[in-house]
A and B are shown apart, each in its own frame.
Chain A
Amino acid sequence: MTNGADDSGVGRRTSRRSFVRRLTVGGGALAAGLAGPARSPAAEPPAPADPTRELGHPVSPYGTRSRFETAVRVQARTPTSVASWTFTPLQDSCGIITPSALHFERHHAGVPDIDPARHRLLIHGLVRRPVVLTLADLERLPAVSRTHMIECSGNGLTEWATPTMPDVQRTHGLTSCSEWTGVLLATLLGEVGVEPAGLWVLAEGGDAAAMTRSLPIDKCLTDVLVAYGQNGEALRPEQGYPLRLVVPGWEGNTHVKWLRRLKVVAAPAQTREETAKYTDLLPDGTARQFTFVMEAKSVITFPSGGHRLPGSGLYELRGLAWSGRGAVRSVEVSTDGGRSWQAAELQAPVLRIAHTRFRLPWRWDGRDALLQSRCTDETGYVQPTLAELVAVRGLRSHYHQNAVQSWRVAPDGRVSNVHA
């Protein structure tokens, strides 16, 4: 499940290079075997020639993936690695769940080290019964589990003017999908009693950025989760351990991690993250504010940038689609740059506000092809082309780039990121 894309554009080049070097060095040991491209780190012994004739490893308390699996998040090229982000390797994913260890990251001041026994959630402001809750308190309350994708509204920000990133990890990898478990915020707000003047909720993280966002009370009373579980275990530290908001369908920044405080207020606090950042500049110099919803989007993950098809023949095109407004109704795929479209098959279950896997058999004739996918969600919204989006938003709005993605398959089988 590797892809051969180079590292231009993003990432900590040195660490990635030394990683690649390790892989190359390890190659000699396995080259003669049947394992395909060698991936084993040099220091480790090769896998047995015949595993049916040797005892395996003993049982272990907490499992890890095979040492031959190498899919990793890659970091954006930012001045510091604590205020930065990493991309999920979508090209290596299967199904609709993102492994917790590969869920994309976005931190504004690093990942805090939080002792859950000492963590507290304060709910106050325009409420009748302000409260301090421990994790044990929260776990006593009725729990729900919901599978939702979270997408950063900066996903694809490099792709407005020119096709910039080499692969789907870096064009689309700021979206990930998990099963989240926690308490509905509506349950908590019902218990503390919101005053009539309470129209917004200010959510604050317990990290070094004490990051804050204001959320309208209606959303908070609908489907927002105060989550402590991810994919069957506690949240990962990078995902907000021990407590985060999950705000289904809204931009990732609102899903405040390391949640320590919810203050019910009358009006938005106009925090830095809802003024200086996460606002969308238009050509006339005004900017849209509180652009919460992540609109319908899809992308082909195989084949995608950096892949090389070995030759003409029958392939299965695969991809992911999602919408912050609900379920994906349909995905269409074009192999001729949008002149003709075919309906892809959606893999069940198709969940609301979650990654949805689509597939379509495709016989490649070995000639130039332009692969695109376009999804329609349950509201009837159709994913726009880049030209349609740019006509309305211009090239400087940075966030909320949900345009149709194009991959060119060249006659030599190489797949690259293009604007069509």
Chain B
Amino acid sequence: MISVIDSIGLSVIKTVIMVRDFVVLTLRTLVYTFTPPFRVSDIFKQLYFVINESAPIVIFCVCSAAAVTIIESSFHMKIIIQNDALVPGFAALLILRELGAVVSALLVTSRVGAGIAAEVGTMQITEQIDALKMLGINPIRFLVVPRLIASVIGGVVLSILANLVCLYVAMLVSQYKLGHSAGSFIVAMRAFVSMQDLYFAAIKGACFGFVIPLVSCYFGFRCKAGAEGVGLATTNSVVTISISIITIDFILSWIFSYFY
């Protein structure tokens, strides 16, 4: 009994310490983000990495998601209300408010988040981070800040891209599959969504993009020696980011609901 309480207590303490360390990392990163020197070329390099690595898979997956959304919703609407005139509106609502931002963020997590955790973790266990410190280079400024800025910008860009591609594909699918013309799709869609929804999707993209590199770098810096260490850092960061994205999505959707 005592040992159970002990181990619960221990894991609570460990969690508290981890959260504290993560908050410290976040605050320090923010301070360095807004104070010189700025490593502009590193930011562009990272931005290229984020967009170049993620855009193809985001576009591919979002196309499938769009097709599924249209086909599924028309199937069910036909059963329930014997009519699929509302499909474009509901599909656009679902895409703009949830699918576009979340699907693209989860894909960026699996590609970029995992990549950063593995890279930083490897640098930690092969003493590359110590080598930076010895040159008086701050690892947070050198590694985290450029990735954070790139990921926030990339998050916004990819979220908007995902949404637009997704809507376009949804329109094509409903044209060929359901016989809605492009014009009627847009008219039906406009009744449900507005430009504001796209802005909110961009805000979601920025918030998800903010979390991804911070969590990945956090686990990378804590990486323990050995190949399992890097594997564990990568897995932990992908799991943690995915849970965070879903949670943040819920919170943001709730906040945005006051503006609709």
A is bound by B: no
Which A residues are closer than 8 A to B by beta carbons?
A: none
